[in-house]
Amino acid sequence: MDGRYDVALGTNTFGPFNVINFATRCVKVNMLLHVSTAYVCGEREGLLSEKSFYMGETLKGTTKLNVYAEKKIVEENLKQLNAQNATEKTITSTLKDLGMKRAKIHGWPNTYSFTKAMGEMVLGECRENMSLIIIRPPGISSTYKEPFPGWIEGLR
């Protein structure tokens, strides 16, 4: 099950935005390595070429994506829910549904892959002259040995 859209957007999209803004101001930093996910390509079959997303690109190709408008949509929904004195359960459910709806509008299967793709877009747009490497592993799990067995435990 996907998480809340506001949380995923903050972590997967605007987290990288904050990192790249910091990194571009560091005199000795000339390269950034970002870990994304293989699932940003959506649910397609066959051999897929690795290419960077440009700002506003969608998997459907028929819609134009605005990362900052997505943030505004979340803020407006939260404001409305708070004005209605919605319960935390209602807020969570509504924001989970909103994330899935927004992802599907633009061609992604879920909130996670959608917000990770937007994070890649933001990095590409804001990197200035910094070298940027984006890796897209299909999954990340716990370690075998270092710093201790099972570190970063968890299943998706």
Decide if 27 is inside a domain: yes
Decide if 147 is inside a domain: no
Decide if 146 is inside a domain: no
Q: Tell me which of 54, 64, 112, 144 is the catalytic residue.
A: 112
Decide if 144 is inside a domain: no
**Total structural domains within the chain:** 1
Q: 79 φ, ψ to 5°?
A: -60, -45
Q: Catalytic annotation on 116?
A: yes
Q: Can you give the pLDDT of all 156 residues of the chain as single tens digits?
A: 478 999 999 999 999 999 999 999 999 999 999 999 988 988 877 887 778 888 999 998 877 899 999 999 999 999 999 999 999 999 999 999 999 999 999 999 999 999 999 999 999 999 999 999 999 888 766 566 666 666 665 544
Q: Catalytic annotation on 54?
A: no
Cβ neighbours of residue 9 under 8 Å, at least 6 residues apart?
70, 71, 74, 99, 115, 118
Range of the domain at 127: 5-43+53-135
pTM for the predicted model, two decimal places: 0.85
Cα dist from 1 to 105, 109, 112, 123, whole Å: 18, 12, 10, 26
Decide if 23 is inside a domain: yes
